[in-house]
Amino acid sequence: MNSPVSDRIELLRRMLLVRRFEERCVELYTETKIRGFLHVYIGEEAVATGVISALDESDAVVATYREHGHALLRGVSARSVMAEMYGRVTGCSRGRGGSMHLFDATARFYGGNAIVGGGLPLAVGLALADKLQGRNRVTVCFFGEGAMAEGEFHESVNLAAVWQLPVLFVCENNLYAMGTALRRSESETNLALKASAYEIPAWSVDGMDVEAVAGTAERAVAAIRSGAGPHFLEARTYRFRAHSMFDPERYREKAEVAQWKQHDPIDAFVGKLRDEGGLDDGRLAELENQAADVIADAVAFAEDSEDEDSADLLRFVHSPGSTAEPASLRGAP
Amino acid sequence: MNSPVSDRIELLRRMLLVRRFEERCVELYTETKIRGFLHVYIGEEAVATGVISALDESDAVVATYREHGHALLRGVSARSVMAEMYGRVTGCSRGRGGSMHLFDATARFYGGNAIVGGGLPLAVGLALADKLQGRNRVTVCFFGEGAMAEGEFHESVNLAAVWQLPVLFVCENNLYAMGTALRRSESETNLALKASAYEIPAWSVDGMDVEAVAGTAERAVAAIRSGAGPHFLEARTYRFRAHSMFDPERYREKAEVAQWKQHDPIDAFVGKLRDEGGLDDGRLAELENQAADVIADAVAFAEDSEDEDSADLLRFVHSPGSTAEPASLRGAP
Amino acid sequence: MTAKKSPKRKPASRSRVADTTAAAATMTYREAIREAMRDAMKADDRVFLMGEDVGAYGGCFGVSMGLFEEFGPERIRDTPLSESAFVGAGIGAALGGMLPIVEIMTVNFSLLALDQIVNTAAAMLHMSGGQFSVPLVIRMTTGAGRQLAAQHSHSFEGWYAHIPGIRVVAPATVADARGMLATALADPDPVLMFEHGGLYNSSGDVPAGAPPVDLYSAAVRREGTDICLITYGGTLPTTLAAADLLAADGISAEVVDLRSLRPLDDETIMGSVTKTHRVVIVDEGWRSGSISAEISARIMEQAFFELDAPVARVCSEEVPIPYARHLEAEAIPRTDDVVAAARTAVRGTG
Amino acid sequence: MTAKKSPKRKPASRSRVADTTAAAATMTYREAIREAMRDAMKADDRVFLMGEDVGAYGGCFGVSMGLFEEFGPERIRDTPLSESAFVGAGIGAALGGMLPIVEIMTVNFSLLALDQIVNTAAAMLHMSGGQFSVPLVIRMTTGAGRQLAAQHSHSFEGWYAHIPGIRVVAPATVADARGMLATALADPDPVLMFEHGGLYNSSGDVPAGAPPVDLYSAAVRREGTDICLITYGGTLPTTLAAADLLAADGISAEVVDLRSLRPLDDETIMGSVTKTHRVVIVDEGWRSGSISAEISARIMEQAFFELDAPVARVCSEEVPIPYARHLEAEAIPRTDDVVAAARTAVRGTG
Ligand SMILES: Cc1ncc(C[n+]2csc(CCOP(=O)(O)OP(=O)(O)O)c2C)c(N)n1
Ligand SMILES: Cc1ncc(C[n+]2csc(CCOP(=O)(O)OP(=O)(O)O)c2C)c(N)n1
Ligand SMILES: [Mg+2]
Ligand SMILES: [Mg+2]
């Protein structure tokens, strides 16, 4: 599923899966099946769906703590993602990571990072490794507009630009960093313009239009693969839900949220497909059912899964067999 | 001496003092009177001379580890600066700071910072304090072009811009960060253009022309005082000497250095003043003698000064009288 | 900088504080910190709060809820996501005569500002030969227990206590949360205040007048004769619970709440050691190189011949805190661990 | 990530290393690190060096001098001044299958990259449930003694040793400097290597074949029976000098060089304690919360009943390191301090 996707229905299928999956996660959170912080991507699905559809299997993805969708879209199984949120040993991070730390080596999905901006240097390094090894691969790094104020953004983009590394920086501009509106966190609110100051191609795209995102991402990825160096893509989108499950949303007007919901990327795309043919009620119901099945299966899997053995708490602090492993480390009370 | 200076001879007098003072420091280093790292400003004097001449007494200055000139120009006495490099108790930092950590509260000279980029957040905070207290003061922050790659640059300039704080950011672009040429450290080598991406006025000036620097700095300071928010000034200059006393200079051609020495800011200004009248051999000799006297006096003072009492080693870790002070802290062997 | 001092002491003075809260009151730890900030803001116009989402959002853990509406955006100042710059700006503002309170959402993020804290805030006064004091207070949430995993759950307060030039305090009770801030603001040097996330909802009494609490003396939270349990912050409740269980078991445990991790109150610690001759230190920090190691070493140096048993430590397992509830619970000090360690110290067997 | 492992071990294998340096040799500590890097670069094309001025400049302390000319700008990679990004890029490159050596000029600057080191490098393997190991080596200069003052002179290696998920080594001899890098590169997890600035010009012998040195065992540098002096890195010479003076004074001191600060070699430490029953730890870190505290605490826990005197510590004074020579000398451990502490431990009087 990581080869470029032209099939429009497939794009819809993916967005639907992500949407329904997260809606279920919110329910499971209120049922206390999922704990910790939970950040959902509802409203922003077109961004990751479009961008990731432009990647090859061999490419790499670095995301944030709002990455359930990115993981699923990258091919991490719904079972292992859901099991991870349940804290099960069958989870993609063996229950150690949770919602904010989803990882999958086979999908080249490098997380899952709960430090805002923390993934940017990583992406630069992954791309550097490819360049040094002469591999023609692309690394995509997702981050929010709030992350652009962090020093890591500045240092990382400059490094990628000076070294002309194959990185696609994708800024998910949903206008808020928790409760902080873009204009209160960035002196330059035109983020593509800001990024172009690093002398790299920087484009903006309507993040609520999955095809626009996919098309732009394909162009950027192709350019990067052809050796044109790092690119920056700002996707203009909006977070329909609270930042996390603890957010009273005192910082924005209900009207503003309602306004943006008029541009729901899934409703919009469904409407478009209906108008232009190719989608009817039957097909849509089919997609919804497929999503429902995948999610039900994932939940059942998570419910039935085991927890990691507590005796294995200290595993993976160091690599298995390392002379630095447990015993020596473990401080018995 | 911190009120705006129009007197051209005064500008020359200041540059000469800084030049001769540092030439003496280099000798004293080879005589092992001065130790640690010593970074001289030789070739760059027009920048700090011009900028600081545009300040009022009440303004603040934040500099780097290459700050002997900035300290002298700000009115820190040659005696206390030299004594500091000797590590004497009579030094401006009581011998605790040395060349890289010159401080003077009365001159509002906030150092002296050996962390590249470390002074930028400080300057933003000083300006924030002025804004919150309704004081119409300007804070000038000096840093090298290499510092612009640090995250602190990015975060600090954005913060100053978002909050519209009275800071003048002065980038001393001498083309190298130790051995790293600008083009190898910045993807955008037009630094004023780069800074303008923060939506603040950003200008470039010939850093070898003291009057051009002074004029531009005056305009910037006036604008900031009138409430126009932070400004950025790139001064194009060159370091005639090695980065520090340990630099084999393997990274640049002798020819390049020779070429730049043709534009020595002092020779150039002397020539200009001769041509346009106002300076003759007699007056020049007088200035040289004044500088020589000040320096000789400073060296004599440093030589005759006492060292801090070793028993006072732990003083100033906390403020005098703090319940966290020594005894409790001091770990006897 | 002496000019700064007298007014700086203001917020600490009983009278001022008394004005605002005369009677004793019961409140949550969260409210206590908020009230302390409100008092300080009222008492001295040089005090202001800055940090990520402290304003419009109300604080990521709701600590500053309502202050934005009361004091406005200038004094309850939302910052961009720029930990290094806004902490450094706090240092600069302090140098400029303000009394900033900088909030860092979570201790893990403070690592992004560590250069400013260690290389500038802690060193400034000394590097400048005594000229520039930095009257800055940095508040941050610390600790595990909420399944926030490896980038939101650590306890670095003991680690920070290694740095000369700063004070490190960890209020464990509502009264301390209420009373320490004014004292911290009155201190001319940088103070780091660590608030354990697990304590925000705890409630307790604040004495009439919300008396200021000093930044150097430990508190004996429970008197005992058989063993001394030394702890601070988030593990005080755990430790007091252990003391109850031990009492039922006929072991009289004294509980010392350090309150300040830098400086450490050696006098109170050694006093309790000399009285009980047995010690267990309870610390949510990772065991190796934790503040509990420093305490053990000091007891070794200052009270070696008073010990009837080796000083024991109950710390967090040396692992990035995992998400799964059972693994997280396994990673941090539990009441049983403390009880077992105390039993072993007293009876030679857990 | 298993695929990575076998080849990753290559540079460590004797044979490979032997190829390049057959005979025993005398060289400086600086040359030893350089030779070790050269070998590693030749042995495995996934190895590269990156950092500020490691290339054209030759390294701020000349360690990489000449490697730029030999291996070129791709593998001896100069970075912009962006500590957080290039350390993070080292982590990413390691995840991408490379074996990066990242040089940070001075330990104080590493604080700018601490978030990447602690929140990512150290936690990645665990957070990912064992999927992503980070075979990264970070080298940096540490320590005082060159009058570089408060932002260039600290010793944070013991502080770093608090962090689970990383190894911390501090080669004190030329042979260790020569032999530890290959082992560090062969290790699948992050290794921080601390080079004391005062050691670069010291010279010593490297055995034939420059044998790799493991990353966990301490070395007994001098046998003794009356007291055990435990140290590492820059204070090994100081401590050996103290042992000579003590010998002249009739006190037989054993000297243990820790080599690895994380993990600590408890076995060797306790072995020496059990033999001598008296201990002085010499550590250039600030006293409170130093690695010496951890060692003292472990001796308390593991060898309490073997002790004839309390474990003593000789550490740096808790002050930002001052510039003035006499003050700096006063701030760090001196031979006399060690001798005095040892005499007190043995005779009850310095
Ligand atoms: C370094 C750091 N600072 C603060 C936080 C707390 N935090 C988590 S998400 C968030 C907002 C980030 O906003 P943005 O980058 O726009 O991403 P979004 O949440 O909008 O997708 C903040 C402040 C953090 N996790 N890491
Ligand atoms: C954070 C940090 N990284 C590295 C260094 C080492 N260092 C000292 S000066 C310098 C070069 C700085 O170049 P630039 O900013 O252009 O200033 P210049 O020396 O040219 O005046 C470097 C890398 C440091 N002091 N601090
Ligand atoms: Mg956002
Ligand atoms: Mg420069």
Query: Which residue of chain D has the CA closest to A96?
Result: D127
pLDDT at A329 over 90: no
CA of residue A116 to ligand 1 center, whole Å: 5
Question: Distance from C117 to chain A by nearest Cα, in Å?
Answer: 16
Q: Which residues contact A14 (CB under 8 A, 6 or more apart)?
A: A45, A49, A53, A72, A73
D92 chain-A contacts, CB cut-off 8 A:
110, 121-129
Query: According to the model, what pLDDT value does residue C287 have?
Result: 98
Tokens of C263: 């400086």
Q: Which amino acid is at A329?
A: L
Q: From the CA of C152, give the closest atom in ligand 1.
A: 25
At C81-96, the pLDDT tens digits run 999 999 999 999 999 9
Q: What percent of chain C lies above the pLDDT cut of 90?
A: 93
Choose among A94, A97, A159: nearest Cβ to D86.
A159
Residue C129 is classified by DSSP as T
Residues D285-299 as b/e (b if ≥16 CB within 10 A, e otherwise) read: bbbbbbbbbbbbbbb
**pLDDT band per the 50, 70, 90 thresholds, residue D18:** very low
Q: How far apart are CA B237 and CA C161, in angstroms?
A: 43
pLDDT at C14 over 80: no
Query: Which residue of chain D has the CA closest to B86?
Result: D324
Mean pLDDT, chain D, whole residue set: 94
CB C165 within 8 A of CB D150: no
Query: According to the model, what pLDDT value does residue C21 have?
Result: 54
Q: How far apart are CA D154 and CA D157, in angstroms?
A: 9
Instruction: Name residues with Cβ closer than 5 Å to ligand 3, which is an ion.
Output: A 144-146, 174, 177
Q: How far apart are CA A201 and CA A266, in angstroms?
A: 29
C63 at the D interface (CB within 8 A)? no
Span C119-141, average pLDDT: 98
Tokens of D331: 């701030």
Q: Give Cα separations from A247 to A38, B320, C63, C148 (angstroms).
A: 11, 45, 13, 16
**pLDDT band per the 50, 70, 90 thresholds, residue D5:** very low
- Closest Cα to residue C304, out of B175, D309, D10? D309
Tokens of D29: 């500590």
Q: Pick the catalytic residue: D35, D83, D103, D328? A: D83
**Interchain proximity D92–A112, CB inside 8 Å:** no
Choose among D165, D304, D320: nearest Cβ to C310.
D304
Query: According to the model, what pLDDT value does residue D26 have?
Result: 97
Active site residue D83: yes
Span D248-254, average pLDDT: 97
- Closest Cα to residue C295, out of C309, C277, C283? C283
Q: Which residues contact B7 (CB under 8 A, 6 or more apart)?
A: none
Angle at C39 between CA C37 and CA C40, to 5 degrees: 65
Chain B to chain D Cβ contacts (< 8 Å): 145
**Interchain proximity D289–C289, CB inside 8 Å:** yes
Query: According to the model, what pLDDT value does residue B1 have?
Result: 33
Choose among D81, D84, D314: nearest Cβ to B185.
D81
Chain B interface, mutation test: which of D54, D57, D79, D286, most B Cβ atoms within 10 Å? D57
Q: Give Cα separations from D140 to A63, A101, D104, D119, D191 (angstroms).
A: 30, 30, 5, 19, 11
CB A56 within 8 A of CB A135: no
pLDDT at A183 over 50: yes
CB D251 within 8 A of CB D226: yes
Q: What percent of chain A lies above the pLDDT cut of 70?
A: 96
At D100-128, the pLDDT tens digits run 999 999 999 999 999 999 999 999 999 99
Q: Pick the catalytic residue: D152, D154, D196, D277? A: D152
pLDDT at C5 over 50: no
pLDDT at A333 over 60: no
Tokens of C4: 């700064």
**Interchain proximity C165–B122, CB inside 8 Å:** no
**Interchain proximity C97–B133, CB inside 8 Å:** yes
Query: According to the model, what pLDDT value does residue D4 have?
Result: 37
Count of Cβ atoms closer than 10 Å to residue C306 Cβ: 15
Span D339-347, average pLDDT: 97
Query: According to the model, what pLDDT value does residue B326 have?
Result: 63
CB D127 within 8 A of CB D260: no
Choose among C79, C98, C130: nearest Cβ to B316.
C130
Mean pLDDT, chain B, whole residue set: 95
Query: Which residue of chain A has the CA closest to B192?
Result: A197
Question: Distance from B158 to chain A by nearest Cα, in Å?
Answer: 6
Query: Pairing between strand D260-262 and D167-169?
Result: antiparallel
Span D299-322, average pLDDT: 98
Mean pLDDT, chain C, whole residue set: 94
Q: Which amino acid is at C176?
A: D
Positive or negative torsion for Cα A275, A279, A280, A281: negative
D299 chain-C contacts, CB cut-off 8 A:
300
Span A283-307, average pLDDT: 97
Q: 3-state SS of B200-232?
A: CCEEEEECCCHHHHHHHHHHHHHHHHHHHCCEE
Angle at D237 between CA D322 and CA D208, to 5 degrees: 130
**pLDDT band per the 50, 70, 90 thresholds, residue A326:** low
Question: Distance from A143 to chain D by nearest Cα, in Å?
Answer: 15
Span A280-307, average pLDDT: 97
Minimum-distance ligand to the CA of C109?
A: 1
The residue whose CB lies within 8 Å of the most ligand 1 atoms, and thus the one to mutate among A65, A178, A236, is A178
Q: From the CA of D109, give the closest atom in ligand 2.
A: 1
Active-site amino acid positions of C: 83, 152
Active site residue D31: no
Span D127-138, average pLDDT: 98
Q: How far apart are CA C328 and CA C331, in angstroms?
A: 5
Span C255-277, average pLDDT: 98
**pLDDT band per the 50, 70, 90 thresholds, residue B3:** very low
At A11-24, the pLDDT tens digits run 999 999 999 999 99
**Interchain proximity B187–A162, CB inside 8 Å:** yes
The residue whose CB lies within 8 Å of the most ligand 2 atoms, and thus the one to mutate among B44, B45, B178, is B178
Question: Distance from A160 to chain B by nearest Cα, in Å?
Answer: 9
Query: Which residue of chain C has the CA closest to B127?
Result: C93
Positive or negative torsion for Cα C301, C306, C307, C312: negative
pLDDT at A325 over 90: no
Query: Which residue of chain D has the CA closest to B245?
Result: D60
- Does residue B66's CB lie within 6 angstroms of at least one atom of ligand 2? yes
Phi, psi of B218 (to 5 degrees): -60, -45
Q: How far apart are CA C221 and CA C29, in angstroms?
A: 17
CA of residue B205 to ligand 4 center, whole Å: 16
Choose among B147, B248, B333: nearest Cβ to D314.
B333
pLDDT at A229 over 70: yes
Mean pLDDT, chain A, whole residue set: 95
C319 chain-D contacts, CB cut-off 8 A:
126, 164
Q: What is the pTM of this model?
A: 0.96
Q: From the CA of A177, give the closest atom in ligand 1.
A: 13
Q: How far apart are CA D67 and CA A240, in angstroms?
A: 54
Q: Which residues pair with B140 in a beta bridge?
A: B61, B168
CB C29 within 8 A of CB C142: no
Q: How far apart are CA B247 and CA A54, in angstroms?
A: 48
Span C231-237, average pLDDT: 98
Positive or negative torsion for Cα B308, B314, B320, B321: negative
Question: Distance from A168 to chain B by nearest Cα, in Å?
Answer: 16
What would you measure as the largest C-alpha separation in chain B, in angstroms? Answer: 68
**pLDDT band per the 50, 70, 90 thresholds, residue A331:** very low
Q: Give Cα separations from C319 to B116, B274, C92, C143, C195 (angstroms).
A: 33, 72, 36, 13, 21
With tokens 């230190």, the residue in question is C281
Span C95-104, average pLDDT: 98
Query: According to the model, what pLDDT value does residue B327 have?
Result: 62
Q: Give, rounded to a whole angstrom, the gap between the first and last alpha carbons of chain B.
A: 49
D149 chain-C contacts, CB cut-off 8 A:
127
Q: How far apart are CA A333 and CA C228, in angstroms?
A: 16
At B6-28, the pLDDT tens digits run 589 999 999 999 999 999 999 99
The distance of Cα A215 from the centroid of its chain, to the nearest Å, equals 18
pLDDT at D204 over 60: yes
With tokens 């991406």, the residue in question is B197
Q: How far apart are CA C33 and CA C14, in angstroms?
A: 17
Tokens of C299: 């007891």
D120 chain-A contacts, CB cut-off 8 A:
113, 115, 118, 122
**Interchain proximity D126–C163, CB inside 8 Å:** no
Query: According to the model, what pLDDT value does residue B300 have?
Result: 98
CB B225 within 8 A of CB B166: yes
Phi, psi of C275 (to 5 degrees): -80, -40
**pLDDT band per the 50, 70, 90 thresholds, residue C4:** very low
D106 chain-C contacts, CB cut-off 8 A:
none
D250 at the C interface (CB within 8 A)? no
**pLDDT band per the 50, 70, 90 thresholds, residue D349:** confident
At A57-101, the pLDDT tens digits run 999 999 999 999 999 999 999 999 999 999 999 999 999 999 999
Minimum-distance ligand to the CA of C112?
A: 1
Query: According to the model, what pLDDT value does residue C133 have?
Result: 98
Query: According to the model, what pLDDT value does residue C10 have?
Result: 39
Query: According to the model, what pLDDT value does residue A327 have?
Result: 62
At C274-323, the pLDDT tens digits run 999 999 999 999 999 999 999 999 999 999 999 999 999 999 999 999 99
At C45-63, the pLDDT tens digits run 999 999 999 999 999 999 9
ipTM: 0.96
Chain B to chain C Cβ contacts (< 8 Å): 167
CB B130 within 8 A of CB C135: no
**Interchain proximity B114–D337, CB inside 8 Å:** no
Choose among A115, A117, A310: nearest Cβ to C326.
A310
Burial class of A312 by CB neighbour count within 10 A (0 to 12, 13 to 18, 19+):
middle
Nearest CA to ligand 1 atom 17: A144
Minimum-distance ligand to the CA of B146?
A: 2
Query: According to the model, what pLDDT value does residue D101 have?
Result: 98
B103 at the A interface (CB within 8 A)? no
Query: According to the model, what pLDDT value does residue A242 have?
Result: 96
Span A186-205, average pLDDT: 98
**Consecutive H or E run containing D139:** strand D137-142
CB C312 within 8 A of CB D301: yes
Which is more confident, A176 or D11?
A176
